[in-house]
Structure 1
Amino acid sequence: MSTDPYTALAAAFREQAWSKTKEALSGTAAELGTVTSTGLKLDHFKHEIGDYYVAEFPGTLKLPELEWTGGVTEKKERFVFDPSETEEVVLKPVYKPGDRVLVIPLNGGHDAVVLCKVVSAGG
């Protein structure tokens, strides 16, 4: 029984891709940490990291048309806002001491990138 060369080639490509993916992602597992007043403390690393990175999220802010009726007195006012679009908006979160965060350690643990704040699903 002979092996189909195309199937063998596809299997070799798949195995090579899997191997390279595992190699590239080894050591980059996300981990939880806590922001401190002087840096970042990862749950599985005994030393505090004083100099770390924070992910920014660039994009375009698009606001739809909005109509709102209300007021602070019995007289109700009608407010209408036109749709708008603002390009090159960068959302850069600000973290406070005590915030729990999701972190990606990089460069063998020498650098850390805070991706986002994490909170309990229960509130």
Structure 2
Amino acid sequence: MADPYKSLAAVFREQMAGYAKDMLSGMSTELGTITASGLKLDHFKHEIKNYWVADFPVTLEIPAFHMVGTMMSPVDQEGYPLGVPDPRTRFEFEAAEIKDVRVNLADGLQPGDRVVAVNLNGGHEVVVLCRVVSQDG
């Protein structure tokens, strides 16, 4: 005689797998390259002229820290020192939180940059999520 609990668990597992598959259908990520006039995905032969770029509004939290350096004063109009540097000084910075900071990914993308993009709405729309770099630099 079959265990009814195992049968029930198998039905739940199959149903959840089906829901997950339905939710993720038509949504895939892939690598691409920013071009001078658009986005070229690695597995799509045409350049995409109109695409979206993720926007990241964040709150920047800066921990307390210190730096050691010198001050150069006074300076000319272009910021070059006119005198000799002051003795080394320790600068103390308090912890701070800066709200409404925006990470503007779109302005930072340059032709040749490699990116991760997600296809949405059956591939009719593409969103660039981030720039990726080799771990070697």
TM-score (normalizing by structure 2): 0.80
The separation in 2 between residues aligned to 1:27 and 1:108, in whole angstroms, is 4
Q: State the Cα RMSD in Å.
A: 1.7
Percent identity for Structure 1 against Structure 2: 50
Q: Aligned with 2:66: secondary structure?
A: strand
The offset of 1:88, in angstroms, is 2.8
User: Could you say which residue in structure 2 is the equivalent of 1:79?
Assistant: 91
Q: What SS class does the counterpart of residue 30 from structure 1 fall into?
A: strand
Q: How does 1:12-91 map to 2 (within 5 A)?
A: 12-71=11-70, 73=85, 75-91=87-103
Shift of 1:84: 0.6
CA distance in 2 between counterparts of 1:96 and 1:18 reads: 39
Shift of 1:54: 0.7
In the other structure, the counterpart of 1:92 is 104
**2: CA distance, partners of 1:104 / 1:32:** 9
AA aligned to 2:35 is: T
What displacement does 1:74 show?
A: 6.5
Structure 1 unaligned segments of length 5 or more: list them. Answer: none
